[in-house]
A and B are shown apart, each in its own frame.
Chain A
Amino acid sequence: MSDQDLKKTPLFDAHVAAGARMVPFAGYSMPVQYKDGVLKEHLWTREHAGLFDVSHMGQARIRGENPAKSFEKVVSADYQGLKAGKQRYGVLLNAEGGIIDDLMTARPDDDGLFVVVNGACKDNDYEIIADVLAGEATVTRLEDRALLALQGPEAAAVLAAHVPQAAQMVFMDTKALTAFGVDAIISRSGYTGEDGYEISVPADAAERVWNTLLADERVKPIGLGARDSLRLEAGLPLYGHDLDETVSPIEAGLNFAVGKSRREAGDYLGAARIAKELAGELSRVRVNLKVLEGAPAREGAEIADEAGNVIGKVTSGGFAPSLGFPIAIGFAPPAFAAVGTKLKVIVRGKQAAAEVVASPFVPNRYVRKL
């Protein structure tokens, strides 16, 4: 794909004006970093508030007689039990129980479900969902909306100055409301492990909202580079790297994405495999690794036992700016997955000591209670 074919978000001009380095990502030209660079942007988000353009992600409505019931055919989460004003994580599954995409589904209002999916997956997702739901529910892409994420310990105070209702929300609350003078959908959630919000606004208001938030000195624009290192430290898997169509939610440690009612009913694509894995038939599981020496172990690096026998692979990894050492997410047999297990990672032919640690690497700071 040449640069000319790349799509632009409504904030493209703002990124370029701010000195962003633009890279192709999910078919869009996106800011990987601004002038400060990944390390400073990462740390700023952990200490203050970072503003991210995530408008490449897919926003859609699912409407119908009982959209949650229809949607549950392809997604393992309990969406019929999702309360008004709430959001819940889920995974779109294939017939073999592999993950086609991971997504957030909310009931911000009475207008069906509001779904946010990964940018690189959205066309395929919508096709699959529309197919399965044909005749009972519809998928409507919200192409005319932008999505901003405001993340960090100062995000709540920053947003409350413009949207007082945001302060009354807790983690995973999602509301449709008038904010910045436009129809907005705001959730208290994100992809950094920090407290914060995702803010959906009409595309033509995006730059104004972006600049309004950036006018606060506690807020800096943050690129996709820091978004990746932040989510890695938060132990959050990334689709296309840690998750793909061969990985099940149970292998990935996303058991919470399979609702209790759904486990009992087994009424969704891939349910047979999920049931077996929940009963303990697992050949690999996600492990979080602290790399104790040497270079960062990145995607594709092999994981070995202490004797050097290869047992798995790193699916994403890098230097953790908030910790000061390299960390990685990978997959290994359950026998090697207990916290404290000593392993090795193989980087450019060299073995380096690593240890299985708990997830998240950096404690999350979600506001679950006011």
Chain B
Amino acid sequence: MRFTKDHEWVVVQGDVATVGITAYAAEQLGDVVFVEVPEAGKTVKQGENLAVVESVKAASDVYAPVSGEVVEGNAELGDAPETVNALPESGGWFAKIKLSNPAEVDALMDRDAYEAFLATL
């Protein structure tokens, strides 16, 4: 699993990256009450808006940690947005993206680097 400074995570299988927000981000957001995931076919560039996650308090953007074409959004989050809090780094994934530039993944932080980054916040 790789991480961004915006608290997204990426897991790559073949040429498809599964993307979500980290446990830290989910905890900071608080209770998630609404999630808007991208539809299949949407093309995103690294750093662009990918999804929106809303807690009782506020709406937050989720940025694409990698560039590519969305092959699937996690439709289950529509009915069960609380999954983002319960399983942020597994069942609460947001989207699967077919990588257009796999090298982007290598430049992301690994778990140790991300935890070191969190310690500075």
Contacts and interface: CB of A to CB of B under 8 A. Distances in A.
A122 interface: no
Interface stretch (A30-38, A140-148, A241-249, A263-271): A30-38
Contact of A319 (B33, B36, B52): B33
A319 B59 contact: no
B100 interface: no
A42 interface: yes
A39 B52 contact: no
Contacts of B54: 295-296, 319
A119 interface: no
Interface in A226-257: 226, 228-229
Contacts of A228: 57
Interface residues of A, number: 20
B31 interface: yes
Given A37-B31, A319-B33, A32 B57 contact: yes
Nearest to A232: B56
A107 interface: no
A225 interface: yes
B30 interface: yes
Size class of the B contact interface (CB-based, 8 Å): 10 to 19
A40 B56 CA distance: 11
A298 interface: yes
B34 A38 contact: no
A321 B57 CA distance: 11
Contacts of B90: none
A231 to B, nearest CB: 13
B43 interface: no
A348 interface: yes
A348 B52 contact: yes
Nearest to B55: A38
Interface in A165-182: none
A295 B52 contact: yes
Given A295-B52, A348-B52, A225 B57 contact: yes
A318 B36 contact: no
A37 B36 CA distance: 22
Contact of A42 (B36, B56, B58, B59): B56
A320 to B, nearest CB: 9
Interface string B16-31: 0000000000000011
A295 B56 contact: no
Contacts of A38: 30-31, 55-57
B56 A318 contact: yes
B30 A39 contact: yes
Nearest to A224: B57
A318 B31 CA distance: 13
Nearest to B34: A295
User: Taking each of A40, A294, A319, A326, which has the highest tally of chain B beta carbons within 10 Å of its own beta carbon?
Assistant: A319
A40 B33 CA distance: 13
Contacts of B36: 295, 348
A298 B56 CA distance: 11
Interface of B: 30-31, 33-34, 36, 52, 54-59
Interface of A: 32-33, 37-40, 42, 225-226, 228-229, 294-296, 298, 318-319, 321, 326, 348
In order of increasing CB-CB distance, the 3 nearest A-B pairs are: A39-B31, A319-B33, A38-B56
22 contacts: A33-B30, A37-B30, A38-B55, A38-B56, A38-B57, A39-B30, A39-B31, A39-B56, A42-B56, A229-B56, A295-B36, A295-B52, A295-B59, A296-B33, A296-B59, A298-B58, A298-B59, A319-B33, A319-B34, A321-B56, A348-B36, A348-B52
